[in-house]
A and B are shown apart, each in its own frame.
Chain A
Amino acid sequence: MIYLYSFLFAGIVCLIGQIILDNTKLLPGHITSLFVVIGAALDVFSIYDFFVNTFGAGAVVCITSFGHLLIHGALSKAASSGLLGLFTGMFSLTATGITATIIFAFIFTMIFKARD
C-alpha cells in the first residue's frame, strides 16, 4: 500500500510542477525554488511530517522535502539552544543530500567531458 501512496504523492507533486511549467513563463529553477519554500511553509503546522509518515519515500524524494528537512533540523536544534539553534541546525538533516550532490557532481565532472 505504501508503494501506491509513494507513487501517487510523488506523481501528483510532479504533475503540479508540470502544470505550472506548461501554463506560465516560470522555468524549472523557479518551480523548484517555489516548491522548497512551500515545503518549509507546510512544516509550520507539521503538515509535511504527516505527508512523510503517510506517503513514505514518495514525500521524501520530492524537492519539497528539502525545505521540510531544513526547517526540521533548524527547529530541533532550536529546541535545545534557542534561536542560535536555527543557525547551527539548519543543515543538520540536509547535509546528506547536499554533500552527496557536491561529491558525486565533482567526481563525475572530473572523469567525464561535457557533451552537446
Chain B
Amino acid sequence: MNKQKYQQLTKKYAPKENKAKNMVIAFVIGGLVGLLGQFLVDLYTSFDSISKDEATSLMMVTLIFFSCLFTALGFFDRWVEKAGAGLFVPISGFAHATTSSALEYKKEGLVMGIGSNIFKLSGSVILYGVVAAYVFGIIRFVFFGG
C-alpha cells in the first residue's frame, strides 16, 4: 500500500471533528465565563467596602481559585477537552495549564518536579506577554508619550 492510499484510508476512518459544533460550544462556554465574570464583579461591588478595581481583581482570584481546584479534583481536564477554546482562552485556561503541569510532575519532587515544571505549559504566555508588552510599551512610550 503506498503512502497516498494509506492517508486516504486513515482519513476515511478517522473520527470526523464536527467543527460547527465545536465553534458553538466554544462560543457559548466562553460567553458564559464572561457572563459569570461580570456577575461576580457586580456581586462584589454591591458590598460597600469593595471598589470596582478590587471587585475585578477579586473576580479574577475567584475564577482562578475554582479553575485550580477543579483541575486538582480531576474533572476540569474533561471539561477543557469538551469546551475547547471556550475554557482555555479565558483566564481559567492559564490556571488549568499551571495546575495540571504541577500535578503531572509532582512525583519527581518538590524542586525538580513541581518547581521546574509548574510553568511548563503556561510559561509561554508570561514570556511572550512580557516581551510583547515591552516592545509595544517602548513604541507607545516613544511615539505617543506613554
- Residues of chain A whose beta carbon lies under 8 Å from any beta carbon of chain B: 2-3, 6-23, 28-29, 31-33, 35-37, 39-41, 43-44, 55-63, 65-67, 70-71, 74-75, 78-79, 83, 86, 90, 94, 96-98, 100-102, 104-109, 111-115
Contacts and interface: CB of A to CB of B under 8 A. Distances in A.
Nearest to A71: B133
B133 A10 contact: no
A40 B25 CA distance: 27
A63 B136 CA distance: 17
A32 B138 CA distance: 23
B128 to A, nearest CB: 5
B125 interface: yes
A58 to B, nearest CB: 3
B50 interface: no
B58 to A, nearest CB: 9
A41 to B, nearest CB: 6
Contacts, number: 255
5 contacts: A11-B28, A18-B22, A60-B60, A61-B63, A86-B134
B interface, size bucket? 35 or more
Interface in B11-70: 17, 19, 22-23, 25-35, 37-41, 56-57, 59-61, 63-65, 68-69
Contacts of A28: 85, 88, 93, 97
Contacts of B141: 75, 78, 83, 86
B57 A10 contact: no
B84 A115 contact: no
Q: Top 5 closest A-B pairs, CB basis?
A: A14-B30, A10-B34, A11-B31, A17-B85, A58-B34
A86 B146 CA distance: 10
A94 B91 CA distance: 12
A116 to B, nearest CB: 9
A70 B128 CA distance: 11
A108 to B, nearest CB: 4
Which residue, A3, A63, A83, A86, has most C-beta atoms of chain B within 10 A? A63
Given A55-B34, A86-B141, 10 more contacts: A8-B31, A10-B34, A44-B144, A57-B40, A66-B94, A67-B129, A100-B95, A101-B95, A106-B102, A112-B74
